[in-house]
Copies of this chain bind each other. A is one copy, B any other.
Amino acid sequence: MVEKIIIFYDIPFAEPSICWSPNTWKTRYCLNYKGLAYRTEWIEYPDIEALCIKIGAAPTDSKDDGISPEYTLPVIYDPSTGQTISDSFDIAVYLDTTYPDTPQLFPPGTRALQSVFAQYASSRIVSHLGQFLRPAVFQKLPAGRSQEYFRRTREASYNVKIEEWAPRGDDRVREWRKLEKALVLLDGHCRRTKEEIGGEFICGINPSFADFVLAGIFQWCKEGFGIESDEWNDISRWQDGRWADFIGSLEKFSTVA
């Protein structure tokens, strides 16, 4: 019998069934929010390129950040249309278009603004968090091939040893404060809609793609640093628990299936 549910390709930690990548989290939230049936296939880092070539998934291109196209996850394969889609934004557009009767990820007319939001979150928050999180993520990847691949590619891209990446001492305190400040500024933008129509989400009452971008970043923090870590404890307390509440409000869409 031919399987008809969507296959969602995600990147594993050593511990099973942990979704941690901010990019794959976006797609997982999208699938869960739409209530679409899917199953996860866990693909270790060094196997991503071969998988993508085999199933015809295009490399993705973060042009705004000056990163060359590369084979990355998330990727989905949808047997009901025979299509393979890469890039979390393109996947979201595909899912809204292919499944118009499920909750929509983009309120009509907001795709351009949502695309800019994703870029803003990437350049103001993800790029700043990387120095703290990538060394922590490295420790949790499967030992051997995944760790070796991550070390080789990241040390080449960022020109820094994994062990020397995270800032220390006063430097760490200063860089960590910058993250807090970036989140205060982001909250300032979010309040604009809250003042207009209320709701907990970026476009108001219902979550949309932009919320999943942001929630994916917090999941990356939670899983990468660990739920008991000082870092996650800090983030959870900032702005009277504003971000902990935000993640909590999306909990029903955070199943790892």
Task: List residues of chain A with CB under 8 Å of any chain B CB.
Answer: 63-64, 89, 93, 106-117, 119-120, 185, 188-197, 202-204, 210
Contacts and interface: CB of A to CB of B under 8 A. Distances in A.
A119 B113 CA distance: 12
A196 B109 contact: yes
A110 B110 contact: yes
A227 B194 CA distance: 41
Contacts of A93: 192, 196
Contacts of A89: 192
Nearest to A188: B63
Contact of A113 (B114, B185, B194): B114
B119 A204 contact: no
Contact of A63 (B63, B112, B185): B185
A63 B182 CA distance: 10
Given A116-B116, A116-B117, A117-B116, A110 B193 contact: yes
B204 A115 contact: no
Contact of A109 (B116, B119, B203): B203
A108 B64 contact: no
Contact of A120 (B120, B185, B204): B120
A92 to B, nearest CB: 10
B192 A111 contact: yes
Contact of A112 (B109, B119, B202): B202
Contacts of A116: 113, 116-117, 120, 189
B120 A193 contact: no
A93 B116 CA distance: 21
A113 B109 contact: no
Contacts of A191: 112
Contact of A110 (B120, B185, B203): B203
Contacts of A109: 107, 110, 193, 196-197, 203-204
A213 to B, nearest CB: 11
B63 A192 contact: no
Top 10 A-B pairs, shortest CB-CB distance: A111-B192, A113-B113, A112-B193, A109-B203, A115-B189, A109-B204, A115-B192, A111-B193, A112-B192, A112-B190
Nearest to A204: B109
A40 to B, nearest CB: 27
